Structure 1
Amino acid sequence: MQTRNVLTSADLEDLRRSALGMADPLGVAADLAEAVDEGRLAEQADAGFALTLAAEIAEVRSRLDAALQYAERAVAAYPEEDAPGFGFASALRARILFRLGGRDDEAMAAVTALRPLLTEQPDAPAYVSAALDAGGRTATAEEWLSEAADTLLGDRADSAEVGSTEAPGVAFFLLQQRHRVRRDLNLPHDRQDDLADRLEARLTQRGDDRSPSEADLLFFPKAEFDRLDPALAETFGADWDEHRARLERHLVRQAGPGLSVLRASAEGLTGYARGREGDPTDHDIQARYAQELSAQPGAHIPWPPERNAACWCGSGLKYKKDCLPRSRS
């Protein structure tokens, strides 16, 4: 797909949801960078977002040199370090540096600079942890998250007031990410883990006990689905049509505000399992991978779209002509 026209913020969001399922995602990444160079963004403030998306695509495709170039341009495109998106772009750059090898000191310096955001931005615990995990520093992530939780909560870890507002905030996401990291490290439950469980249960109850299992919401775009191990067919569907039909039926059953599917990748699932010495067919591994994705705002594909809007699956067809009828198949 060529993106030669002027790109709006909505276009970029659509590409974020669908690019990995296209025939030439690396071409999309290159086109995004060209759109920035050629001034083809409706809002020039979206330059950092467009370049970050290009870097994410290239990283998933293991084109790390290109991913780093895009990520460095993305970081430079943000006018201020406190601008929305700057933290994620910086953490993505650090993650790529770790994966490239030989630049660990540079990567560590970049991610260390983001440490104050752990108590300020809801998505910071996820992207900081992901960067450290890429560098084999999961224990450091646990240390940082624990210190941030202590700073944010003080002596309130047993208090009912924590997370008592309607919308989950910084404390909720910080505790949930800390809980996941500690579970990956096989650390014993502590009082902040207990609080994370209580807050998650409370949020589920607000949803009238209808919150779907995150593992059931893993969505693999067409190109990613085709890369899945055949042993996963029983879980995710024998083909992509069945995969989408299962998801659509599940979403219809759970229908409620704020639902989304989680954009996954075959390499992401197998890599997550490998890093935990687990099996990608293990439902617990799938659930934990889904939980990791759920903490990343960019992984969420909102559902449902309008009937005449592009389908959530990235096929390019209208929702009413594609996945909506699958709920009845």
Structure 2
Amino acid sequence: MADPLGVAAELAGAADGGLLADPQDAGLAFVLAAEIAESRSKLDAALRYVERGVAAYSGRDDSEAGAARALRARVLFRVGRDDEALAELEELRPLLGQYPDAAAYLSAALAAGGRDLVAEEWLTEAVKAALAERGAAEPANPDDAGLLFFLLQQRHRVRHIIGRQHDAHDNLAERLENKLANTGVAAAEADDDLLFWTQAEFEKLVAQWPELTASYGESWDLHRARLERELVRRAGTGRTGLTLLPGTVAGLTRYAGGDGDPGDPKTRNGYARQLADGSGLIGWPPERNGACWCGSGSKYKKCCLPRSRG
């Protein structure tokens, strides 16, 4: 069995040595190394790695950069540097209103510092702001709720942990989760975030539509890592029966038709739902010693499993 700390060192070494297929994956490599080290309670190493990861994301204000900084705060809490950790998270707090996954990684970081009450406060304010922005109408379903759905889910989870009685926002969270469950697993999971492009298809895709690297990653390695992290995130919300939707450039082009735009998220979400109704879906997760879902031929535990943010 591979030594996890050895895997972390290899990831960091590859990033340091410029050995990654895409140098822009350096931040992700350092973050994965930090998470592995943290999971083995090697907090000094975790902090060194995550500092390098945050530096690699310098100049970016997207959710990946935010997740790296939240991880740094989580490690800072664990080494007793609480004031620094809280200051970091305060700066990241506005991300709750911008990115669906921010609710999960910010509340996880606060939980590491025993600040579940702070997480509840922040999530409650973010939920109220999102509800005020959309007006009085209750979301019809999770898709209609958008980012609000993720805020409600995470707030509901945090409140359950700290033993709060249900309020109106908790009831709304449960109604939306029930609607999601009632649509069926395949339909619920069938969205653009779970479209998987093999290496050959990925290369054709980004050659034809370079702008899609913003959605799927700037390299195939980053594409695989994003999918693994998204699947882990969904599994963490209690989802089961998760599947990847293997797409092809030809299939996307056919679905878009002559007048459609394959770069439009609505087109790609529609294509994902079409794939979910067919065959050839890839179940996740595979066995640790089984073949990796990405088709690399390597074992899952040595291929995409270490890419997880879990």
* TM-score for both structures, normalised by structure 2: 0.63
Q: Give 1:80 shift.
A: 2.5
Query: Is 2:88 the partner of 1:114?
Result: no
Superposed CA offset, 1:57-111 (max 9, x none): 000000000000101110110142313411111111100010111x111111111
Whole-Å Cα distance in 2 between the matches of residues 128 and 41 of structure 1? 28
Structure 2 matches for 1:60-79, cutoff 5 A?
60-79=39-58
Query: Is 2:7 the partner of 1:24?
Result: no
Contact between 1:308 and 1:318, CA under 8 Å: does it hold in 2? no
Contact between 2:142 and 2:177, CA under 8 Å: does it hold in 1? no
Query: Is 2:236 the partner of 1:293?
Result: yes
Q: Give 1:44 shift.
A: 1.1
Whole-Å Cα distance in 2 between the matches of residues 71 and 136 of structure 1? 21
Whole-Å Cα distance in 2 between the matches of residues 205 and 50 of structure 1? 38
1:301–1:77: structure 2 CA closer, same or farther, 3 Å change rule?
Answer: farther
Superposed CA offset, 1:31-78 (max 9, x none): 111101111111111111111000000000000000001011101101
- In the alignment, residue 158 of structure 2 is paired with which amino acid? V
1:146–1:88: structure 2 CA closer, same or farther, 3 Å change rule?
Answer: same
CA RMSD of aligned residues (A): 3.9
Contact between 1:94 and 1:131, CA under 8 Å: does it hold in 2? yes
Aligned match of 1:128: 106
1:132–1:196: structure 2 CA closer, same or farther, 3 Å change rule?
Answer: same
Superposed CA offset, 1:251-288 (max 9, x none): xxxxxxx999976xxxxxxxxxxxxxxxxxxxxxxxxx
Query: Is 2:37 the partner of 1:58?
Result: yes
1:87–1:190: structure 2 CA closer, same or farther, 3 Å change rule?
Answer: same
Aligned match of 2:287: 313
Contact between 1:301 and 1:312, CA under 8 Å: does it hold in 2? no
Query: Is 2:83 the partner of 1:105?
Result: yes
Query: Is 2:118 the partner of 1:140?
Result: yes
Contact between 1:259 and 1:303, CA under 8 Å: does it hold in 2? no
User: Which deviates more from structure 2 when the two are superposed, residues 61-70 or residues 200-209?
Assistant: 200-209
Aligned match of 1:44: 23
Whole-Å Cα distance in 2 between the matches of residues 138 and 35 of structure 1? 36
1:315–1:309: structure 2 CA closer, same or farther, 3 Å change rule?
Answer: farther
Q: Give the 3-state SS of the residue equivalent to 2:164 in structure 1.
A: coil
- Which structure carries more helix by proportion? 2
Q: Give the 3-state SS of the residue equivalent to 2:179 in structure 1.
A: helix
Contact between 1:58 and 1:67, CA under 8 Å: does it hold in 2? yes
Gaps of 5+ in 1: 1-21, 213-257, 264-289, 324-329
Whole-Å Cα distance in 2 between the matches of residues 210 and 309 of structure 1? 14
Whole-Å Cα distance in 2 between the matches of residues 48 and 260 of structure 1? 14
Q: Give the 3-state SS of the residue equivalent to 1:68 in structure 2.
A: helix
Whole-Å Cα distance in 1 between the matches of residues 290 and 19 of structure 2? 22
Gaps of 5+ in 2: 190-226, 247-279, 301-310
- In the alignment, residue 89 of structure 1 is paired with which amino acid? A
Whole-Å Cα distance in 1 between the matches of residues 55 and 102 of structure 2? 19
Whole-Å Cα distance in 1 between the matches of residues 114 and 166 of structure 2? 22
The total of aligned residue pairs comes to 226
* TM-score for both structures, normalised by structure 1: 0.59
Whole-Å Cα distance in 1 between the matches of residues 76 and 113 of structure 2? 9
Whole-Å Cα distance in 2 between the matches of residues 181 and 309 of structure 1? 29
Query: Is 2:171 the partner of 1:194?
Result: yes
Whole-Å Cα distance in 1 between the matches of residues 228 and 35 of structure 2? 23
Query: Is 2:59 the partner of 1:80?
Result: yes
Whole-Å Cα distance in 2 between the matches of residues 198 and 308 of structure 1? 29
Q: Give the 3-state SS of the residue equivalent to 2:143 in structure 1.
A: coil
- In the alignment, residue 47 of structure 1 is paired with which amino acid? A
1:113–1:307: structure 2 CA closer, same or farther, 3 Å change rule?
Answer: closer
Superposed CA offset, 1:88-138 (max 9, x none): 11111100010111x111111111111000111101011000111111110
Aligned match of 1:150: 128
Superposed CA offset, 1:217-245 (max 9, x none): xxxxxxxxxxxxxxxxxxxxxxxxxxxxx
Query: Is 2:70 the partner of 1:91?
Result: yes
Superposed CA offset, 1:6-51 (max 9, x none): xxxxxxxxxxxxxxxx430100100111101111111111111111
Whole-Å Cα distance in 2 between the matches of residues 37 and 202 of structure 1? 46
Contact between 1:125 and 1:174, CA under 8 Å: does it hold in 2? yes
